[in-house]
Amino acid sequence: MLVRNVVSPIGGTLLVLGLIGLYTRQSEASGVVGLLGFLFALFGTVLALAGNAWANLLAYFGWALFGVASLQARVYPPAASMLLIIGALIAAPFSILLAGASPILTYLGVASSIVFNGAVAWLGLVLVRGEALRPGTPQRGSKSQRAESTRLSDLSIQLGCVAEKVEPVAFGLFVSSPQRVARPRIPKELVSPLDRRN
């Protein structure tokens, strides 16, 4: 009785608030699938809290779509998104079958709910800790991220070489006395091969 009257509404409210936060973080990158998943999960969860047993199917279907959109958006870890899809698809049938079901189905339903809720908690933890990536950012440690880092370091070295050549001209415009000012030198190993000819 306590679970039905107190814990379930609080949990459902937190689930709705969490869904809104999760969707807001990836709304730009998730597209139409993410929007549909968000709306189905939102309205399904709200209707289920109001007592409509069939609304659970809509909510779990929405969460599964939300997981698919999360995989495409690459804002949250792919493993968490896959766990969300699996948990939602497994928990959906048990949400209808549990009314007056055998103990085995009840235990399976509880296990599927644990998988689903664990995935939602994982996504929420990533969001709260600020580990969610901006849409379009490569996953940490990926080849594309390492390549981008290498390109940026090469570019900064080349810009440093250009600045070294331009600095005396620009600096001379602002110095009234003809004093020679010491400027930092870039080590030869950091200078690109094109600029070593000097």
Percent of the chain predicted with pLDDT > 90: 19
All residues at 6 or more sequence positions from 27 whose CB lies less than 8 Å from its CB, including other chains: 34, 35
pLDDT at 76 over 60: yes
Report how far apart, in Å, the C-alpha atoms of 142 and of each of 1, 19, 21, 118 are.
Answer: 49, 28, 26, 26
Helices and strands (DSSP H and E) totals, the chain: 6, 0
pLDDT at 162 over 50: no
All residues at 6 or more sequence positions from 139 whose CB lies less than 8 Å from its CB, including other chains: 74, 78, 133, 145
User: In terms of pLDDT, which residue wins out, 117 or 146?
Assistant: 117
Q: What does the domain layout of the chain look like in residue ranges?
A: 2-128, 143-195
The per-residue pLDDT for range 92-136, each reduced to its tens digit, is 887 777 656 677 877 888 888 889 889 999 999 998 888 766 555
How confident is the model over 55-80, as a mean pLDDT? Answer: 90
How confident is the model over 38-47, as a mean pLDDT? Answer: 90
Report how far apart, in Å, the C-alpha atoms of 168 and of each of 113, 140, 182, 193 are.
Answer: 68, 40, 10, 22
Q: What is the pTM of this model?
A: 0.62
Percent of the chain predicted with pLDDT > 70: 61
User: In terms of pLDDT, which residue wins out, 174 or 137?
Assistant: 137
Tokens of 41: 């999960």
How confident is the model over 15-37, as a mean pLDDT? Answer: 88
Mean pLDDT of the chain: 74
Q: How far apart are CA 53 and CA 47, in angstroms?
A: 8
Indicate the residue type of 111. Answer: A
How confident is the model over 38-44, as a mean pLDDT? Answer: 91
pLDDT at 150 over 90: no
pLDDT category at 195 given cuts 50, 70, 90 is low
